[in-house]
Each structure stands twice: as C-alpha cells, then as structure tokens.
Chains A and B, each alone.
Chain A
Amino acid sequence: MKVQGRIIKLGDNIDTDIIIPARYLMTHDATTLAEHVFEDYYPEFKVKARKGAIIVGGENFGLGSSREHAVIALKNSNVKAIVAKSFARIFYRNSINLGLPALVLREKNKFDRIIDGDEAELDLTKGVLNSLATNEEFSCDKMPEFMMKIIESGGLINYFMARNK
C-alpha cells in the first residue's frame, strides 16, 4: 500500500491545540475543521496540502488534547500520511483509528535531508519514504500488522464492522 503527496515539514512538539484550536471544537464537521487547520500557526498549510501532502514532523507529534478533531482536520485537508521522529500516543491511536497512516521515521539522523515541498511516495508495507525529487529513501518503522489492517479498512470503525459481520 502506497500513498503520495508533497512533503510538508514541521518541527518538534506540534500540539493538537495548534492543529485545531479549541474554538472550533464545537463541531466535528470535517469540512469546517479542515478550513481552520493550523489557522494560527501555519495559515498557508491548507493551500500547500490541497493537492495531497505527507507531513514530516519531529519529536512528539500531536501532543496534548485527545481531540480527534485534529486528525479529522488534517485528513480532510488532504494529508495522506504522517511521518515523524516520534508521536504522542493519543494522537497516534486517533490517526490509525481514522485511517490516516502514521509512521515513525527510523533514520532520524536523515531528518534534515528530507526537503519541504518535494513530491514523495510513502510505501506503508515496506516502511519507506521516497523523495521523488531526489530519489533518496528514508526508512521508517513498519506499522504492526493489525494497525495496517485498520488502515487498509479505512479506520477502526470499518475494521470493526468487517470483523463482526
């Protein structure tokens, strides 16, 4: 399974309050949330992501609140996957549960070589991020098998329904 998109690079400690501020938590409408993604912190984000994006983040991506609204906002801004040096655990679960692949970058020392704006392909099965601009590969930890199944089903709800048919 592969996904493709433009790399949007972010730093360490990207928290869920900056992905989607609390003032928008009064709804879980996907379109509305996507409209306000990173509104305070990175207003150009939604334009950059429009044609499909792979986020490459630093340490502790998604820390803070348990708001699934953050994943909904990213997914509906056309983010195809997130690669990060490490993830905060609630965000990680939410991401997998909503069918948004989240991979840990294994070659952390090569983080600086990943270039913002490059087209890239992420092979989820192999755990490899490939920059199509430079043809350089960055290895990631593969997701555990049952998480891959959740991703392939399009999220935990679909996975659960298929399993209990």
Chain B
Amino acid sequence: MSGLTAIQKVFSRKAGKARVEIGDIIEAKVDFLMLHEVTGPLAVEEFEKVSGKVWDPSRVVVIFDHDIPPSTIELASQMKRMRSFVRKYGIENFFEIGRGGIAHQVLFEEGFDIPGFLIIGADSHTCTAGATGAVGIGVGSTDAAIVLATGEIWLRVPETMLIEVEGEFRKGVFAKDLALETVGRIGANGATYKVVEYTGGAVRRLSLSERLTLANLSIEMGAKTGIVQTDSKSHGYAESFNRQTESMDVRSDPDSNFEKIEIDVSEVEPVVSVPHSVDNVKPVREVEGLEIDQAFLGSCTNGRLDDLTVAFKILRGRKIAPNVRLVVSPASVKVYSEALKMGIIEEILRAGGIVTSPTCGACLGMSRGVLARGEVAVSSSNRNFIGRMGDKDSKVFLASPATVVASALEGKISDPRRYLS
C-alpha cells in the first residue's frame, strides 16, 4: 500500500478513519469555523432555518474585518446582526472592532491555526491557515450554516500538488514574489480541486509570516487549500499556545501519490501580476515606469509587521511622489500597535502616506482606498480582477510590499532593488 499524502493524513483523522483514499468523499469534523460580517449574516440566517443550537460555541470564531469601522448603514447593520448571533448562542471567540483585524491574520495570531486542525471559513482566503500546517478551507455561507448546526462538512479528499522550492532568495525578492511566480507558472486554474503542499529548503527558511503569504495565494491557482509542510517552526507555534498535544506532523510520505513541481527561487526576480488576472505575471522591469495613482500596502496577503518593516526601510528619509497616495492598512490591531512602537507608523505619515484601521478595505474595493475610473494601483493584495479595487476601468498590479513602496516613492512602477542594500 502506498504512503499517505499530508491531506490524506489530516482527513483520515478528521473523518475518524484509519485511512482515506484520494477521491473519497468524507464527513469531516471541523475544529474551528470562522465567520465575518459579509458572509456571516447569510450563514446565520440559513443556520436558523435548520437548527436552534450551535454545535459548539467554543469552536466558532466571529471576526469583523471587511470594512472596519463600517462605512455604510447596511454593513453596520450586518455587524449588529452578527453581534446578536454571538450573544444569543454564546459564541466564545468574537473579535470586535478594535480587538482583532483581518480574519486570517487574527486566526494565526490567536492560535487557531494548529497543525492538522481543520479550519472552515466563509471566506476564500481561509487557505492562509496552511502556513502553520493547519488545513484552511474556504466555503460559502450555506456550507458554513450546516457546519454551525452539525460541526461537520462533506469534503472530497483532493489530489496533491507538491511544490518544492530550493535555492536562495535574491536581493529584493520576497515570499510574495515567489507566490506570484508560482501562480504564474501553475496558472489560475492549474491546481483546481487540488491541495498545494509547499516544501523544500527555501520554504523551510521562510518565517511563519512569510509562509502566510505563500499559503494565502494558493486559492489563486484554484486550490482547495495550500499547506506548508510542518517543521520546528510550526510545532513551536502550537507549543506557544500550549496545544502541542493536539497538533500533528503534516507532510506527505515520499511514496504517496502526488505530482511534483520544482522551483529554483534563485531564478526568481521581483514580479508583478498585470491586470486582470493573478496568473498574468511579469518581471517588474518589464512594466517599470508605468505611472500609478495609488499604492496599497495591506491585506491578508501582506499587511504584517515584516511587510511594514520592509516599507519602513525603503521609505526612511524619503518622500512619496506628489501625484501618488500610499494607503497602508495593517493586518491587525497587534500589527498596528507593534508598528506604532517601532516608529513605522510615524515614518509612513512623515513620508506622506496614510495609515487606516486594520481592515480588508481597499483590497476588494469596499472602503478606504477605492479607485476611480481610469486609475492605476500597485497593491500588495491578492486579486487584480476587473473592478476589484473600485471602478471597472481601474487597474491593479499586484506586487510585493517592497515593490509597492518603491513605486509610491517614484510615482510609477519601480524595481525595489535600488532601495535595498
């Protein structure tokens, strides 16, 4: 009998079976369910049609993040509905405005992403949880409603695409460049229904924060989720929340069934995703000089402390180009607070940027940095679809935080390498 892939191991455990096979449909037990204010109210409404009791209020996590604090009466009302849901059913994990941030960041910071845990989230970027070896799967509101009632979900055991990354990152090349390069090579539907599993020396050397960026973009290849193979860093994460006994090794056996893609990161250079698809990846130098109106640093992809630190290094002592605005949305209140202590926020303001409350906001054109007709943005976020950040005739170029900030300084898409020593 062949060995098991990482996802087979996790799904066997979640289905309570000795072994599940690729292609099997299983009923899996969910460790945590995440709801936010956009997809949550519909999930709650559907849930209340079928049940009067949440399966386990200690396993439900409600986080407000898309438009924080709300900029419309409708969204304020959606949040009000979610607050009454939290009260009515005694939901134990609730992150109110000012006490959390972007859902996927909060799940990580607060210790929910334990290796081998199954996290179901009513949000497509739930795959971010794979950074620590958790299995984060995005669903819609109706699936979430059934999980609320039963704590279970049907899932197909997916095929595995193993991405092995070796080599050393060159100067000015970040986890985001690797992630975009990978999406470019695999394609926007190259991993549909599959799980992407990241391994190799270059991946092991990444910090957990950088791994969040890598796992986050798995959905942009159509994947069910992305998992970074566990190691001492992921197990250290579980230990820091005192959950080491519940955590597990998440890695495919060498003799299990997977297809393997090899990437040499030393060949990767700073890249951008050109409108209007994430897999339309080009080296920065090919689009250098294109004028921009806005630079956005934030989102569940790249709004963390290491991203803001890179921004700080590039901005220090310089001024943002007069024709450009730099919008920075830290990924969480914790990130914001740390950045404040480190003087990063002050430096962004001094350079002429603006810092918003932690929120998804501009990433999906919901608030705090929406684009007008004809405007061009360079963004550290994850999608550049038509109209994603605002008007249908605006354009979004996706890039690393370094490229975003270098571009803000020059007022046009710029190679970050000349700002990094």
> Interface on A for B, CB 8 Å cutoff?
13, 15, 17-18, 21-23, 25-28, 40-41, 59-60, 63-69, 71, 86-90, 93-94, 97-98, 144, 146, 155-157, 160-161, 164
Q: Which segment of B140-148, B311-319, B342-350 sits at the interface?
A: B140-148
> A23 and B383 in contact (CB under 8 A), knowing A88-B192, A98-B142?
no
Cα-based distance from A94 to B42 in the complex (angstroms): 12
With A63-B188, A67-B39, A164-B50 given, is the CB distance from A23 to B366 under 8 Å? yes
Which residues 353-376 of B have a CB within 8 angstroms of A?
364-366
We find that the number of chain B residues with CB closer than 8 angstroms to chain A is 42
Given the complex of chains A and B, what is the CA–CA distance between A79 and B274 in angstroms? 32
Question: Could you name 29 residue pairs across A and B whose Cβ atoms are closer than 8 Å?
Answer: A15-B383, A15-B385, A17-B385, A17-B388, A18-B387, A22-B365, A22-B388, A25-B38, A25-B66, A27-B74, A28-B41, A40-B392, A41-B386, A63-B189, A63-B222, A64-B385, A66-B138, A66-B139, A88-B192, A89-B193, A89-B224, A90-B140, A94-B139, A94-B142, A97-B143, A144-B25, A157-B49, A160-B146, A164-B50
A17 to B392, CA, bound (A): 10
Give chain B residues whose Cβ lies under 8 Å from the Cβ of A155.
Answer: 142
A sample of 16 more A-B contacts (CB under 8 A), given A15-B386, A22-B388, A161-B49, is: A13-B277, A15-B385, A17-B383, A17-B386, A22-B365, A25-B366, A40-B387, A41-B392, A65-B123, A66-B139, A86-B192, A89-B193, A93-B143, A94-B143, A98-B142, A157-B50
Judged by a CB distance under 8 angstroms, whether B46 is at the interface is yes
In the bound complex, what is the Cα–Cα distance between A21 and B146 (angstroms)? 26
Q: Of B46, B123, B192, B365, which one neighbours A23 at CB under 8 angstroms?
A: B365
A96 nearest CB across to chain B (Å): 9
Q: Is B263 at the interface (CB under 8 A from chain A)?
A: no
How far is A5 from B325 in the complex, measured between Cα atoms in Å?
48
User: B124–A13 contact, CB under 8 A?
Assistant: no
Contact, CB under 8 Å: A21 / B365: yes
Residues of chain B within 8 A (CB-CB) of A93 are 139-140, 143
Nearest Cβ on chain A to B95's Cβ, whole angstroms: 19
- What residues of A have a CB within 8 angstroms of the CB of B41 in the complex? 28
Q: Give which listed residue, A26, A60, A68, contacts B140 with CB less than 8 A.
A: A68
Nearest chain-B residue to A25 (Cβ)?
B38
A71 to B140, CA, bound (A): 10
Residue in B closest to A89 when the chains form the complex, CB atoms? B193
In chain B, what residue has the closest Cβ to A72?
B42
Q: B residues within 8 A CB of A160?
A: 50, 146, 149
* A41, A60, A66, A69: the one within 8 Å of B124 (CB): A66
Tell yes or no: B122 within 8 A of A by CB. Answer: yes
B43 to chain A, nearest CB (A): 9
Tell me the bound Cα distance from A64 to B224 in angstroms. Answer: 12
Most chain A Cβ neighbours within 10 Å, of B42, B140, B224: B140
Tell me the smallest distance from the CB of B375 to a CB of chain A, in Å: 15
Distance in angstroms from A140 CB to nearest chain B CB is 17
CB distance from A64 to the nearest CB of B (A): 6
A63 to B219, CA, bound (A): 9
- A15-B385, A18-B387, A23-B366 are known contacts. Are A59 and B189 too (CB-CB below 8 A)? yes
CA A114 to CA B142, docked complex, whole Å: 32
Please, which residue of chain B has its CB at the minimum distance from the CB of A97? B142
Residue-wise interface mask of B (38-54) relative to A, using a CB-CB cutoff of 8 A (1 in contact, 0 not): 11011001100110000
Nearest CB of B to A154, in Å = 12
